[in-house]
Structure 1
Amino acid sequence: MKAAYFLDGEVHVGEMPDPTPSKGQVLVRTHSCGLCASDTHFLHAGQAVIDLSKEYGGPYASLDLAQAFVPGHEYVGEVIDYGPDSKRAISPGRKVTSIPIMRQSGTHAVVGFSNSCPGGFGEYMLLDEDFVMEVPAGMDDAMAAMTEPLAVGLEHARRGLPVSGDVPLVIGCGAIGLGVIAGLKLAGIAPIVAADFHKSRRDLALKMGADIVIDPRELSPYEPIADLGMRQVNLVYECVGVPGLLQKIIQSVSFGARIVMGGYCMEPEQLLVFAAQNKRLTVHFAAGEEPQDMELALRSIDNGKVDVSAWIGARIGLGGVAQALAEMSGPQAPVRTVVDPRKL
């Protein structure tokens, strides 16, 4: 199959072996796949992630960067076939997406971060038939590919146990932060405050349902907010993942606040426990999405309750992957560029 694959810290486009499904595995022809910041992390610093997984436990410990692998974990594809003795619940020709986890046939891998389970930057993928979900007929491929990134934000949103009366603050309005805003909105939580240094991201936060957006250089989002009748935020979602930010939040929030750590920080973080204890703070650590989040994300995109169309920038072929990954970190970059591996 044709694929964009990673090897030796570079993006290559060429032929990779066609995957063959085993029992419980679905062979899928990829239609669209989103490019994620985690793809660039693995391109440039993948060994650090692997080493952390080996030392502390994590899903990436078995990935071997000395061998080529095909990234892409935000995908939609067409069912082609199943491995022997599979359930075959979804008919060939139907489109599906899934949580990017493979647990069938003795394999435990993250699709797109595995040498045995190629991701959506290739023409074909293997998916776990227990996790695949059928995409509604007529749904745009690129929109369906946004299911996984939206689902991450939905998981983070519910991890904070939001209730009526909360005033949440979302720090960082990339895909995760925008998904958190969407999840809070779906749960009927308001008002929602969002903070980001970049106007384009703050504008997207408003489109996703934020009520107030703040440039932290101009106004502290932790202080009483005039537009909220001098109320203060009490539930903070950290969606950035830079060292020092958690301690900054601890120092800044008011008594009894809750904090959700959603941004992935792979560097040591120093905390002054004294400050957190005196304020009786609660810190939740969020991770990846679960099947219930994928189901809600797909349903919400399909019925229009969450509009992710503003996330989608260019739609490219395999030949554009390297450049798109190099350009995706800037503030003016789209939330998601989408690759169609059927095109060069």
Structure 2
Amino acid sequence: MRAVVCQHADLEVVDLPDPTPGAGQVRLTVERCGICGSDLHARHGIDAWADMAAKTGYERFGRSDQPLVFGHEFSGRVAEYGPKAKGSIPTGTPVVALPLVRGTEGIDAVGLSLHAPGGYAEQVIAQESMMLAVPNGLPTDVAALTEPMAVAWHAVRRGEVGKRDVAIVIGCGPVGLGVILALKAKGVKTVVASDFSPGRRALATRCGADVVIDPAEGSPFAGGEQRGHVVEAEAAFELAVSTREKLERLPVGWWHVWRLGEKLGAKPKHPVIFECVGVPGVIESIIDEAPLFSRVVVVGVCVGEDRFTPAMAINKEIDLRFVLGYTPLEFRDTLMMLAEGELDPRPLMTGTVGLAGVDAAFTALGDPDAQAKVLIDPRSDAVTP
């Protein structure tokens, strides 16, 4: 089969042996595979990722000197089952799969391990238990975005954002745009999006953002007071004193009412902020500018070292959360939302290339105004997205 191999940061189309599914595995014919921002970073920085993975106990992450086949956002068709597979989904059926496979030495991340080549190829191996049939005639290009949309859905769920909360998305690349789509699918009424790129701001509007900000001209946190957010420490002090004084007028102990309010979820209004940039300094800038009591969900992947002032986050009582991936249930639910039209990622899909065009696609994705999400069609002859 033909595949794109990355080694020493060089991308090359090569011929590889057809993969053979092992026990409980299935071989898929790849229909589409998305190019993820993590693939762009891995091309030059996968060794740093491998070092971090080793610290968490995962020693099988790919290295730059290995011939790696990227691609973890894929859709395909069932081609062949391995031994001990149930084979419950008929051959030829369009499917998607979580990018995890169980090998002889453990679980591997598809597209980021030498032991689990990814979807930048004509064929890919998936774990049968991680595979789902694509329902409702969902197009294979849209189905391929189940994986990145599941990342966004997981981030939104971890943010515990309510429909009446204000959600602020910092960075409108594919991750941020996916978060906007997931927020609107959840029914969040006010989504503020911020990005320096005019092209990405336009895509944010198409994805449903209610307010779109150029941070060079304004702050995404502006107008917080009008939304009921606490933006200054003195206002937080006043809130504590005035609430205590108002409860004092009630005929029962004020502490009973306060405790009941806490059980019912009463708390100062605050935005839920999604950091979708992954560049050093962004977390610090959010902590410095965000209203008090803000919840910050870090979705962007900053591989290098970063820094912020903990005392500032403490003084504002910032709730800082980091997210990774998704659960199998979230992956399944995302596929269902795509199939039912509750999530529509087509505004993100800005180009398609064949295997010979992957290098050019990587270059094009470096321009935020040129491309957002480029898909690979292994049967296409297109060399530019």
Computed over aligned residues only, the root mean square deviation of the Cα atoms, in angstroms, reads 1.8
Contact 1:247 1:272 in 2 (8 A): yes
Contact 1:34 1:338 in 2 (8 A): yes
Distance (Å, rounded) in 2 between the aligned partners of 1:59 and 1:70: 19
Of structures 1 and 2, the larger Rg is shown by 2
Q: CA deviation at 1:271?
A: 2.1
The 5-angstrom pairing of residues 305-316 of structure 1 reads 305-316=342-353
The 5-angstrom pairing of residues 247-258 of structure 1 reads 247-258=284-295
CA change 1:283–1:94 in 2 (3 A) is: same
Residues 74-129 of structure 1: CA distance to partner in whole angstroms, max 9, x if unpaired? Answer: 11011011111112221111011112111355431111111121111111111011
Q: What secondary structure, in the 3-state scheme, does the structure 2 residue paired with 1:78 have?
A: strand
Distance (Å, rounded) in 2 between the aligned partners of 1:271 and 1:64: 30
Q: What secondary structure, in the 3-state scheme, does the structure 2 residue paired with 1:130 have?
A: helix
Contact 1:153 1:175 in 2 (8 A): no
Residues 201-247 of structure 1: CA distance to partner in whole angstroms, max 9, x if unpaired? Answer: 11211222211111111111122269xx4555621110001111111
1:339 aligns with 2:368: no
- Give the counterpart letter for 2:363 in structure 1: A
Distance (Å, rounded) in 1 between the aligned partners of 2:62 and 2:49: 10
Unmatched 5+ residue regions in structure 1?
none
Contact 1:33 1:72 in 2 (8 A): yes
CA change 1:168–1:59 in 2 (3 A) is: farther
Q: What secondary structure, in the 3-state scheme, does the structure 1 residue paired with 2:222 have?
A: coil
Residues 249-306 of structure 1: CA distance to partner in whole angstroms, max 9, x if unpaired? Answer: 1111122111101110112222211111111111111111222222222222222222
Query: What is the match of residue 267 of structure 2?
Result: none
Query: What is the match of residue 53 of structure 1?
Result: 53
Distance (Å, rounded) in 1 between the aligned partners of 2:350 and 2:5: 22
CA change 1:164–1:36 in 2 (3 A) is: closer
Q: CA deviation at 1:137?
A: 5.3
Query: What is the match of residue 77 of structure 1?
Result: 76
CA change 1:118–1:49 in 2 (3 A) is: same
TM-score calculated relative to the size of structure 2: 0.84
Contact 1:194 1:212 in 2 (8 A): yes
CA change 1:39–1:60 in 2 (3 A) is: farther
Residues 27-49 of structure 1: CA distance to partner in whole angstroms, max 9, x if unpaired? Answer: 11101111112112111222121
Contact 2:207 2:347 in 1 (8 A): no
Query: What is the match of residue 130 of structure 1?
Result: 129
1:167 aligns with 2:171: no
Q: What secondary structure, in the 3-state scheme, does the structure 2 residue paired with 1:242 have?
A: coil
Contact 2:47 2:62 in 1 (8 A): no
Distance (Å, rounded) in 1 between the aligned partners of 2:14 and 2:94: 25
1:185 aligns with 2:177: no
Unmatched 5+ residue regions in structure 2?
230-269
- Give the counterpart letter for 2:357 in structure 1: G
% identical aligned pairs: 36
TM-score calculated relative to the size of structure 1: 0.94
CA change 1:124–1:111 in 2 (3 A) is: same
